[in-house]
Amino acid sequence: MIYNFFAVLFLFFMLVTLHNDIKANERLFQSLRLSAAVDYATEGAFLMSLETGDLGLSYQDMRNVIINPDNTLETFKYILALSYDMGISRETIRMLDNYITSAVLAVNDGYYIAELVEDKENHDGSGGIYVLKWGLKKPYVIRYNDSGQEDPNGHRYVAYSLVSQDWVYMEQSGNTLIQDSGDSFFQLREKWGIFPSREPRERILAKANELISNDINFVIQERNKMYDRIGNRDFVYLPSSVTSSGINEVSRPSLLVTLAGVDFAGPEKLEAHSVGGFTIADKVRVIAFRENGQKYYAYEGQIPPNAPIVIDRFFNTIDEAALQGYHPHVQYLANPKRSR
């Protein structure tokens, strides 16, 4: 009888342990599934924002990238709903707004933050129905004082671009609004005595990421208060440069979406934040050339300027070059690729 008692007790302990393991594994699986679904939805939404027919997400010149925010949020919600076999309806799309804690679309000359606004087109007339929409585009602004030094209380404003030296200057002088623009930091320094920093590009990126982080975290706090989620702490951190942990700064057009309190992804509510983010990348072409009568290929920027070669054509991938009879040039391929 004593042996049977301990055997039943041990069996009960094993069943409880097995039950907890199954729940933990199910929770982990649903978290990973949600993370993958958010990534797919973010990628699809970002592709929708690109005004181009090329889905490779690679560009020769970042200044020529055109981002259109129209339908970006709707595309994200459609793909997320389809990932969980939810029907596409007005009610489903509105329901998903409850879980999106923040969304930001950064473009070359500013960024959009998703905000809750009253739906005046699709409600039944009773009012009080809110949907997630992009707000007005906010520029990457740094304020300066009269001496041209950066000052958070300064009355001189300069809006910058993420990828070029374009700038817009504004100053309120009495009842007169002074406005100017240019395409080089030298012009800004010569005309208005602004930009004493030795590393203007780094400072612009740092300020842009600071502005985006502050706005995202403010939106998250307000949404958490509205839906009583996980306290009201800050969540998103965007560094001013690439960190040792691999966290990247926003330095080119990008889309970032965060979700929390998801209860449609399984039997339990997922309180952990889910983040999806995508950005564009420079396009590095494959150069097909002939050297000493032999056909070779290497990436753009790997071939020395004085190399005795004859360039035949360009390819998008090394597979395309290999299919056309070109061979890898081991010496040139060992050189670092050009980065911008």
Mean pLDDT for the chain overall: 80
CA distances from 226 to 104, 119, 229 (A): 19, 18, 8
The mean per-residue pLDDT over the stretch 221-243 comes to 60
| More confident site: 296 or 273 | 296
Separation in Å, CA 159 to CA 68, 110, 135, 179, 284: 20, 9, 18, 11, 30
- The more confidently predicted of residues 158 and 269 is 158
Tokens of 321: 């070059």
pLDDT at 48: 83
Average pLDDT for residues 36-57, to the nearest whole number?
Answer: 73
Is the CB of residue 114 less than 8 Å from the CB of residue 258? no
Paired with 100 in beta bridges are 259
Does residue 53 have a pLDDT over 60? no
Kindly indicate the confidence band of residue 282, based on its pLDDT and cuts at 50, 70 and 90. Answer: low
Determine the average pLDDT of the residues in 23-31.
81
- How far apart, in whole angstroms, are the C-alpha atoms of residue 131 and residue 96? 10
Whether 58 has a pLDDT exceeding 50, the answer reads no
The per-residue b/e assignment along 100-128, b for 16 or more CB within 10 angstroms, e otherwise, is bbbbbbbbbbbbbbbbbeebeeeeeeeee
Q: Check residue 54 and give its pLDDT.
A: 44
**Could you give the count of Cα atoms lying within 13 Å of 22 in the half-sphere of its Cβ?**
7
Minimal CA–CA distance to 251: which of 117, 116, 93, 140? Answer: 140
Query: Would you mind telling me the total number of residues written for the chain in this entry?
Result: 340
Which DSSP letter does residue 67 get?
Answer: B
User: What pLDDT score does 326 carry?
Assistant: 93
pTM of the complete model beyond 0.75: no
pLDDT at 331 over 80: yes
Q: Is the pLDDT at 180 greater than 90, yes or no?
A: yes
* pLDDT greater than 90 at residue 195: no
For 280-309, what is the mean pLDDT? Answer: 85
Instruction: Give Cα separations from 212 to 91, 231, 263 (angstroms).
Output: 30, 21, 28
Task: Report the candidate in 298, 310, 229 with the shortest Cα–Cα distance to residue 262.
Answer: 229
Q: Assign 56 a pLDDT band (cuts: 50, 70, 90).
A: very low
Choose among 112, 308, 321: nearest CA to 211.
112
What is the percentage of the chain residues whose pLDDT exceeds 70?
82
The values of phi and psi at residue 125, to 5°, are 100, -10
Residue 90 pLDDT > 60: yes
Provide the token pair at 81: 């709903």
Residues 6+ apart with CB under 8 A from 234: 217, 220, 221
> What is the predicted pLDDT for the residue at 322?
92
Can you tell me the distance from the alpha carbon of 223 to that of 102, in angstroms, rounded to the nearest whole number? Answer: 8
Q: Residue 247's pLDDT is what?
A: 56
The rounded Cα 32 to chain-centroid distance in angstroms is 19
User: In this predicted model, what pLDDT tens digit does every residue of 127-174 receive, in sequence order?
Assistant: 567 788 888 899 999 999 888 888 888 889 999 998 888 999 999 877
pLDDT value at residue 57: 42
Compare 55 and 129 and report the one with higher pLDDT.
129
Burial of 209 by CB count in 10 Å (0-12 exposed, 13-18 middle, 19+ buried)? buried
Residue 85 has pLDDT above 70, yes or no: yes
Question: Both tokens of residue 218?
Answer: 């403010």
Q: Is 17 exposed, middle or buried (0-12, 13-18, 19+ CB in 10 A)?
A: exposed
Q: How far apart are CA 156 and CA 150, in angstroms?
A: 9
- Percent of residues, the chain, with pLDDT higher than 90: 15
Q: According to the model, what pLDDT value does residue 262 have? A: 83
Lowest mean pLDDT among 70-74, 165-169, 213-217, 234-238: 234-238
